[in-house]
Every structure is written in C-alpha cells, then in structure tokens.
Amino acid sequence: MTQSVNTKNWTFSRFTKGNSMALITFGADPESVSEDRLEYYVTVLEDEIHETFQKSFSALAEACIYLNTNYADWTFEDQTAPKSGCSTCAAH
C-alpha cells in the first residue's frame, strides 16, 4: 500500500529525499486575506529552512494530489508515527 498525504494527515506528513522535504503548508496572500480564505502551499525545503520551490492551491485536496503526484517516489514520513532509538528522548 502506497502511503500518501491526504486531507486528514497533511499537517503531520511529508516526503523526504536526502536533505530535502516536500510538504503542505498554509497561508494567505493579500487578496485571499481580504476574502477571508486560506491558500495551501506545496513547499520544498532544503535543510529544513531553505525554500527551493512553492506552488499555491486554493483547495487542500488539489495540493495533496499535486504533492503525491510529484513526490511519491520520495520517502513518506508520518510525523506522528512512534519512533525508537536515541533521537526520541527529550534532549533532541
């Protein structure tokens, strides 16, 4: 079964490859704020801070489809999945 980002898990799931991650974020531009609506962004980050790509969508489902279509060959990560090993301690 292929794992994918969807409208229920998008806030805690992403795809990673090397030092890059592809995920969905949300925000607004001046026009969408004045209309009281959010936009969803498929964003690719390098080293968790350098934005290398971003594409906006007015619907979350469309952003999920785009993310899954373009990054499904990367490693899927569910940030709520239980972790094990040293990195799970509070010191990290």
pLDDT tens per residue, range 27-49: 988 887 788 888 999 999 999 99
pTM over 0.85: no
Distance (Å) of CA 37 to CA 25, 29, 56, 60, 79: 14, 9, 13, 12, 27
- Walking along the chain (92 residues) 10 residues at a time, the average pLDDT comes out as 87 96 92 84 96 96 97 92 62 46
The two structure tokens encoding residue 67:
């993310």
Domain boundary assignment for the chain: 13-78
Q: What is the pLDDT of residue 37?
A: 84
**C-beta neighbour count of 63 within 10 angstroms:** 25
